[in-house]
A and B are shown apart, each in its own frame.
Chain A
């Protein structure tokens, strides 16, 4: 497992060499998506909760950080954190029904939330630019602008590795194990003293934070935000990515993200049928690759 990781890191570090601008951009998109996949690793893989509204948290991270930078003059690195925190707070709020409801009602709540976020961002023109969109400055570090996606990629890679390491720590920790126990047997977990509400709200908050961070990084990558990006189909693509990559590992998050970043390049020729093909791939994956690309024959475990 250790060698697999070292190999993966080496591959990631060498990936941009020999690629052009467009290749670097795709690599950056992969890293941005990989953070969302990590976040679904926590929410769905550990806590067993489904979200069909992660585009909402992604949007909050993107707009939150962009507004912090352009209106409040907050530096990029701190704006990322602002975006993540805004999303994380809303993540906890969306999960509040967890105090009362069980089953898939929470998933419905996430869907409603994402639609609401998109509408508000669209209508609130004075702050978000509405249909005009919102320009986002290039990412910069300590006053130096990361002019090419080549250098931005390494920044994203470092951030991904740090956050993947934390996600991995969480999986082995008592909190992570408690989330997994709730997924496997809610009643036994609660009878063992695990508070369902506390852990599900925490899972939502952490997951939304990570997705918010990803949104902030995405905005800086593309340079212009438009509410259309943060649609239901984005939420569904995220879910597809997580399932295809595998919900139990960080390598799976990367594989799923690479798929989601590369797939549009391949599927573009199918135009409107794109979502249908996504759906078909998702169904095939659930049927034949229950652990995702990373999990062929691999079981979900608490630790290691």
Chain B
């Protein structure tokens, strides 16, 4: 039994096949890269695993458990978290508040106590946990800043901090280096390796090939909703089908 097992996953939107019987496994503790040209179905696959979408066929098992039987909000308790390709921050809130909400699933308070203002200690505990995570990601000085006032790169870090605040075991990263310059992208790579060192298993969707080749243990390549290659970075890079898919993309562009 592997850590995460994706089996014959298929999904269609309005009759259009976005994923066609995709299968692969993710091993505990590894960084698995998920690459492919635009529209290959990478984000869709991430959305299926994180229960944003429900696939039309196939299965997703996490440590032997059927994830498709879980609701989207039940995943954090299983220690599965994700980030988003386009930022999905709580826009009107501060950095601290954003990160604090990352631990929402742990909260079991009574609404009555909340209405009467008797939840002070719970509120403080949540904020303290958020502050700790902000320190780790070097965001402490921005704790009280409205999140949208931060530069784009830092906003991405806040999103990561929000996901990490719940101490996940499986992290799905949807293009963490998108929109970043080479130096920022290099730092994202270092951070990803740090997460791996902490024992977090990662699935990385990313377009920055240098980053992918540098950090990933194995890579799965999708094209037009189908898996066309799987293996270590060296093998995948030299796979003729992969080369053809990417050349095709360049020809389209």
By a beta-carbon cutoff of 8 Å, the part of chain A in contact with chain B is 165-166, 169-170, 172-178, 180-181, 184-185, 187-196, 202, 299-303
List residues of chain A with CB within 8 A of the CB of B91.
Answer: 184-185
> B156 within 8 Å of A by Cβ?
no
* Other 6 A-B pairs with CB < 8 A, given A174-B126, A184-B92, A193-B105: A177-B100, A181-B90, A185-B88, A187-B84, A190-B73, A299-B92
In angstroms, Cα B88 to Cα A191, docked, is: 10
Could you tell me the dominant secondary structure of chain A's interface residues?
helix
B104 engages A189 (CB within 8 Å): yes
A-B residue pairs, 9 tightest by C-beta? A193-B105, A173-B114, A188-B88, A193-B76, A184-B90, A169-B117, A185-B88, A166-B115, A190-B72
Of residues 176 through 192 on chain B, the ones whose CB sits less than 8 Å from some CB of chain A are none
A174-B126, A202-B111 given as contacts; is B90 within 8 A of A188 (CB)?
yes
In this complex, the member of A173, A175, A177 whose beta carbon has the largest number of chain B beta carbons within 10 angstroms is: A173
List residues of chain B with CB within 8 A of the CB of A192.
Answer: 73, 76, 101-105, 162, 166
> B42 within 8 Å of A by Cβ?
no
In angstroms, Cα B73 to Cα A196, docked, is: 8
Number of interface residues of B (CB under 8 A): 41
List residues of chain B with CB within 8 A of the CB of A184.
Answer: 89-93
Residue of B with least CB distance to A176: B114
List residues of chain B with CB within 8 A of the CB of A303.
Answer: 97, 123
Of residues 90 through 145 on chain B, the ones whose CB sits less than 8 Å from some CB of chain A are 90-94, 97, 100-107, 109, 111, 114-117, 119, 122-123, 126
Residue of B with least CB distance to A167: B115
Residue of A with least CB distance to B115: A166
In angstroms, Cα B73 to Cα A302, docked, is: 21
B92 engages A191 (CB within 8 Å): no
Partner of B122 from A165, A174, A187, A299 at Cβ < 8 Å:
A174
> B154 within 8 Å of A by Cβ?
no
B97 engages A175 (CB within 8 Å): no
B122 to chain A minimum Cβ distance, whole angstroms, is: 7
B138 to chain A minimum Cβ distance, whole angstroms, is: 22
A10 to chain B minimum Cβ distance, whole angstroms, is: 22
> B224 within 8 Å of A by Cβ?
no
Partner of A191 from B76, B114, B146 at Cβ < 8 Å:
B76
In angstroms, Cα B97 to Cα A178, docked, is: 11
In angstroms, Cα B100 to Cα A170, docked, is: 16
Residue of A with least CB distance to B159: A188
In angstroms, Cα B72 to Cα A181, docked, is: 15
List residues of chain A with CB within 8 A of the CB of B90.
Answer: 180-181, 184-185, 188-189, 302
> B227 within 8 Å of A by Cβ?
no
Could you give 22 example pairs across A and B, Cβ below 8 Å? Answer: A174-B114, A174-B126, A175-B114, A177-B97, A178-B101, A180-B93, A181-B101, A185-B91, A187-B88, A188-B162, A189-B101, A191-B76, A191-B82, A192-B73, A192-B103, A193-B75, A193-B77, A193-B106, A202-B111, A300-B92, A302-B97, A303-B97
Residue of A with least CB distance to B47: A187
> B10 within 8 Å of A by Cβ?
no
A174 engages B119 (CB within 8 Å): yes
> B198 within 8 Å of A by Cβ?
no
> B247 within 8 Å of A by Cβ?
no
> B44 within 8 Å of A by Cβ?
no
A173 engages B77 (CB within 8 Å): no
List residues of chain A with CB within 8 A of the CB of B74.
Answer: 193
In angstroms, Cα B109 to Cα A194, docked, is: 13
In this complex, the member of A174, A185, A190, A194 whose beta carbon has the largest number of chain B beta carbons within 10 angstroms is: A174
A191 engages B75 (CB within 8 Å): yes
> B71 within 8 Å of A by Cβ?
yes
A174-B122, A175-B111 given as contacts; is B93 within 8 A of A195 (CB)?
no
